[in-house]
C-alpha cells in the first residue's frame, strides 16, 4: 500500500521526503542524499522494464504497477506531482491502493520564483505554467520515453484534486508552517504516518526527529549539493546542472516578483488561496 507525498512542483516535496527518509531509513536521523532512494518518484523509469512510447501506455500501467506494490503487503512512500485524477479513463491512483497521503502546499506567489530557477524560465513563462490546466512534466533527457510523464495541471487544480480526493487518510501540510516551526510540523507528519504504518510498538523518537530536522536544514543541504551534487537538480540550457537548493528563506515574492504578476496569481487562485489563508 502506498503513502503518497503529493504536491505541485517546488512546494516542499523534496524537503518532506528528506525529513521522512532520515527519520524512517537512517539509524539516528542523519540525512544524506542516498536516503531519498527509499522514497521514489512515481511515475518514473524505475517502475517500467521497457521504454514507454506514449502517454496512453504510461497511463494504462499506473494502476497495474500500484497493484503489484499492494501485493507486496508492505507500506511504501512514493513522491508525486501528478494530480489525483485520470487520463483518458486511466486513473492515476485509487483509494483501495492508497494507505494515505501527505499533501504539501505552498503559497503560489513563492512557488513561481522556484519554478523560474528550476526550469530556467522567466516570470511570464512561470506564471503561464502555474496557471495552465493542461500542464505536464516529462524528463527532457528522455524525448521518446513517457515513463516519467506527470500531468500536474495548474497549481489550483493540483491542490484541489488531492484535497477533494476519495482518500480517507490524508493530511495537508503548508510549506510555510514547516518553515516556521519545523519540529512541531514534522512531528505532526510523523504522528500521522506512524498511525498509517501501525507503529504501535515503535514509540515516537523525539531525538531522532530533532536530528532529522537538523540534518535537513536548508543551509546544510545546499552545502551538501555543492560538495557532492544532487541528481534531482535540473539542467540549464548549456547542459550544466542548476542549483536545486537555491533561495531558501530568501524566496520572498514581495522582493522577487513584479506587482502585476502578484495580482494575477491572487486573482487566478483567489478561492484556493483564501481557503489556505494565504489571502
pLDDT in tens, 56-108: 999 999 999 999 999 998 999 999 999 999 999 999 999 999 999 999 999 99
Residue 248 domain-assigned (yes or no): no
Residue 260 domain-assigned (yes or no): no
Q: In terms of Cα–Cα distance, which of 9, 14, 20 is closest to 82?
A: 9
- Does the pLDDT at position 34 exceed 70? yes
Separation of alpha carbons 172 and 195, rounded Å: 16
Separation of alpha carbons 37 and 21, rounded Å: 9
Partners of 254 in beta bridges? none
Residue 216 domain-assigned (yes or no): yes
Q: 139 pLDDT band (50/70/90 cuts)?
A: low
> How much is the pLDDT for 242?
57
User: Which of these ranges, 6-10, 120-124, 249-253, has the smallest mean pLDDT?
Assistant: 249-253
Give the 3-state secondary structure of residue 150. Answer: strand
Residue 275 domain-assigned (yes or no): no
C-alpha cell at 40: 521514489
Q: Name the domain count of the chain.
A: 1
User: For the domain that residue 140 is a member of, what is the CATH number?
Assistant: 3.40.50.300
Angle at 209 between CA 206 and CA 213, to 5 degrees: 140
Q: Where are the beta strands (DSSP E) in 140-230?
A: 150-151, 170-174
Residue 66 domain-assigned (yes or no): yes
Q: 201 pLDDT band (50/70/90 cuts)?
A: low
Residue 19 domain-assigned (yes or no): yes
Average confidence score pLDDT of the chain: 89
C-alpha cell at 160: 484541489
Separation of alpha carbons 221 and 277, rounded Å: 29
The predicted-structure confidence for 204-252, as pLDDT tens digits, reads as follows 899 999 999 999 988 887 888 777 776 665 555 555 555 665 666 767 7
Range of the domain at 45: 2-107+132-240
Residue 121 makes CB contacts below 8 A (sequence gap 6+) with 115, 129
Residue 114 domain-assigned (yes or no): no
> How much is the pLDDT for 199?
72
Q: CB atoms < 10 A from the CB of 200, how many?
A: 8
Residue 279 domain-assigned (yes or no): no
> How much is the pLDDT for 236?
53
Predicted model pTM: 0.91
Amino acid at each position: 500500500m502506498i503513502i503518497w507525498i503529493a504536491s505541485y512542483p517546488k512546494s516542499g516535496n523534496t524537503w518532506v521526503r528528506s525529513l521522512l527518509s532520515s527519520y524512517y531509513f537512517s539509524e539516528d536521523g542523519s540525512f544524506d542524499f542516498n536516503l531519498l532512494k527509499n522514497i521514489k518518484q512515481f511515475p518514473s523509469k524505475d517502475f517500467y522494464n521497457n521504454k514507454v512510447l506514449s502517454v496512453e501506455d504510461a497511463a494504462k500501467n499506473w494502476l497495474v504497477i500500484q497493484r503489484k506494490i499492494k501485493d507486496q503487503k508492505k507500506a511504501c512512500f512514493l513522491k508525486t506531482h501528478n494530480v489525483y485524477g485520470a487520463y483518458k479513463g486511466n486513473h492515476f491512483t485509487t483509494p483501495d491502493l492508497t494507505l494515505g497521503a501527505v499533501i504539501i502546499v505552498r503559497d503560489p506567489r513563492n512557488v513561481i520564483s522556484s519554478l523560474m530557477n528550476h526550469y530556467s524560465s522567466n516570470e511570464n513563462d512561470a506564471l503561464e505554467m502555474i496557471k495552465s490546466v493542461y500542464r505536464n512534466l516529462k524528463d527532457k533527457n528522455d524525448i521518446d520515453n513517457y515513463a516519467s510523464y506527470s500531468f500536474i495541471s495548474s497549481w489550483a487544480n493540483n491542490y484541489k484534486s488531492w484535497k477533494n480526493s476519495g482518500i480517507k487518510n490524508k493530511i495537508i501540510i503548508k510549506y510555510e508552517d514547516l518553515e516556521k516551526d519545523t519540529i512541531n510540523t514534522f512531528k505532526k507528519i510523523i504522528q500521522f504516518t506512524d498511525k498509517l504504518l501501525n507503529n504501535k510498538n515503535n514509540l515516537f523518537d523525539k531525538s531522532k526527529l530533532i536530528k532529522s530536522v537538523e540534518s535537513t536544514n536548508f543551509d546544510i543541504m545546499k552545502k551538501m549539493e555543492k560538495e557532492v551534487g544532487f541528481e534531482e537538480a535540473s539542467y540549464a540550457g548549456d547542459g550544466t546542472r542548476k542549483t536545486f537548493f537555491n533561495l531558501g528563506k530568501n524566496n520572498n515574492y514581495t522582493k522577487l516578483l513584479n506587482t502585476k504578476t502578484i495580482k494575477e496569481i491572487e486573482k487566478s487562485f483567489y478561492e484556493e488561496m483564501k481557503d489556505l489563508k494565504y489571502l
